[in-house]
Amino acid sequence: MHRSVVIHPAPRPLAGVLIGALAALALLLLAGPAQAAPQGLGLVATAQPVPMLCDDDGCVAQLSSFCLQRERRSPNYGTRYRVAAGAGLRLYLTDARGGRRTVPADGLALLVSTRGNTGIEARVTAADRAALGAVEIAVAVGDLVTLLPEAEPGDADPITAAEAEFAAGPARLLAADIFDSPAALGESINILDRTINAVTRQARLSDEARRELWSRVAGAPLAAAEGSTAPAAQVFAACLDDLNRRMVYGLRNCLEGRRDELLIHANTQLWNALETGS
């Protein structure tokens, strides 16, 4: 039986967010040997598909992730991952005539770490997009998805079978209560991910356009957010304030930093729960 864990961190200035995130990473992530494999990660399940941003180079979407192996180092930028367990990923395709279909993402979506252990990019090449006949692509993450880094030649300390089994089993099951449950953090992370992926890093929106974006993604005005959407609403409102005071550069950058802090805070809860066995 899942236990509901509700997380409502108070909004803080972005400088505090970044300092807190860096401090948490410094204190909680143990660096392994230089050639040791990085940690296994969990992907937060998506209630709705996350639209990918597409251009001539292909399509990409950022997905929220979290650490399942505290004893191993955080992945470097560009570390490739594979789905090791769980329901996996699916791609939702829309063609030029509006026809829709879904296909497994295996063999099509490259999974790459881009924000340490808090962000994985799913990438589809332009060639694969053309072969699929898709003008639009969205990606959905199924239940209990566990990622392991792709093996590298000469790895002096690869993830063992026992480690992988524990990460994908007991650790990922316990993480579901914290990260995936809509009653806990799941719904808020889903809203933030869809919002982040709805804008490019270069986009500069008016305050009105930002609020309209929230309403479109969340399905209700910002002021109406409550319950399981409250953490996401607090993050978004804090970013609006920072942007209007010109304390940050771009809505997407602000949302990513504050979402990362939510994930790091929840990861600490997971590690504490694993230590106590509850």
Phi, psi of 42 (to 5 degrees): -105, 145
Q: What is the pLDDT of residue 224?
A: 82
DSSP secondary-structure letter at 109? -
Higher pLDDT among residues 12 and 222, named by residue? 222
Beta bridge partners of 124: 59
Contact partners, residue 180, CB within 8 Å, separation at least 6: 44, 45, 143, 144, 186
Instruction: Find the range with the poorest average confidence among 38-42, 68-72, 201-205, 210-214.
Output: 201-205
Does the pLDDT of residue 43 top 70, yes or no? yes
Q: Residue 228 — very low, low, confident or very high, per pLDDT cuts 50/70/90?
A: confident
For residues 254-274, give the mean pLDDT. Answer: 95
Q: Tell me the pLDDT tens digit for each residue of 1-36.
A: 444 444 444 444 544 544 454 444 444 444 444 578
How much is the pTM?
0.84
Domain ranges in the chain are 14-276
Does the pLDDT of residue 144 top 50, yes or no? yes
Contact partners, residue 227, CB within 8 Å, separation at least 6: none
Q: Tell me the pLDDT tens digit for each residue of 103-128.
A: 999 999 999 999 999 999 999 999 99
Q: What is the pLDDT of residue 247?
A: 84
Using CA atoms in the order 174, 40, 144, 150, what is the torsion angle rounded to 10 degrees?
-170
Q: What value, to the nearest 5°, has the Cα angle with vertex 8 and ends 51 and 30?
A: 80
| Whole-angstrom distance, CA of residue 150 vs CA of residue 128 | 21
Neighbours of 25 (CB within 10 A): 17
Q: What value, to the nearest 5°, has the Cα angle with vertex 109 and ends 152 and 97?
A: 165
With tokens 């991910």, the residue in question is 193
Q: What is the pLDDT of residue 269?
A: 94
Q: What is the pLDDT of residue 6?
A: 40
For every residue of 51-90, DSSP letters joined together read EPEEETTEEEEEEEEEES-TTSPPPPTT-EEEEEESS-EE
For residues 40-47, give the mean pLDDT. Answer: 96
Residue 274, classed as helix, strand or coil, is helix
Query: Pick from 131, 144, 142: which is nearest to 49 by CA?
Result: 142
